[in-house]
Amino acid sequence: MSKLLYIKANPKPDNVSRTFRISEEFIKGYKEKNPQDEVITLDLYKENIHHLTLEDINDIFSQKGDDAQSHPILKYAYEFASADKYVIAAPLWNLSIPAILKSYIDYISVTGITFKYTENGPVGLCHGKKAMHIVARGGSYGVEPLSSYEMGDRYLRTIFGFLGITDFTTVAAENLDVIGADVEGIVQKAIKEAKEVAQNF
């Protein structure tokens, strides 16, 4: 049995967010294909994830032993490390990811839990896992000339690779804000692609 961590980073409800319309169909297809797996939904807005403060940082580095696993911030790093698969549902906002997702990544990127430093530099501790990013974009950021501006999926791939996760798939619905675009058709095409990926994820 595998554990899938479904990370949601959008304040909009499922039926309004175009990203969530796609990701929810992925999760539905995944559950049908893998009924024995555990799927944990982590809605970052409902979790009230915030930017780390100086007090948070000092507190994190003072934690030791078993108490650290129940710490209000470190618990997210331990939860992340214990998962086998990840689905990140996050739209492209201002060429990158929503700020709340970056804050979450600050929560989970903890030395000794998801990566470590060695004499040869940093080494990820999350090997043998896989991730998927489901994203809605207003324009065509998957190809030039706009792909040079896209820093959301690029950042997620980079930080996940840093943590040891190199099996990374992206399903993107693009051109959703282009005047005259068939928005529903684009979303449905992405849903179909996501469902196909779910069969072997």
pLDDT in tens, 131-152: 999 999 999 999 999 999 999 9
**Contact in structure between 82 and 1 (CB atoms under 8 Å):** no
> Using CA atoms, how far apart are residues 137 and 154, in angstroms rounded to an integer?
14
**Contact in structure between 117 and 161 (CB atoms under 8 Å):** no
Report the pLDDT value the prediction gives residue 42, as an integer from 0 to 100. 98
Cβ neighbour number for residue 100 with a 10 Å cutoff: 20
> Using CA atoms, how far apart are residues 91 and 180, in angstroms rounded to an integer?
20
Lookup result for tokens 């060429």: 95
For the chain, domain boundaries = 3-199
> Using CA atoms, how far apart are residues 179 and 32, in angstroms rounded to an integer?
36
* pLDDT band at 111; cut points 50, 70, 90: very high
Which residues touch 80 (CB under 8 Å, ≥6 apart)?
5, 86, 108, 114, 126
Report the pLDDT value the prediction gives residue 68, as an integer from 0 to 100. 81
CATH topology of domain 3-199: Rossmann fold (3.40.50)
Which residues touch 39 (CB under 8 Å, ≥6 apart)?
4, 6, 27, 30, 31
pTM of the model: 0.95
pLDDT, mean over the chain = 96
Which residues touch 176 (CB under 8 Å, ≥6 apart)?
18, 136, 137, 138, 183, 186, 187
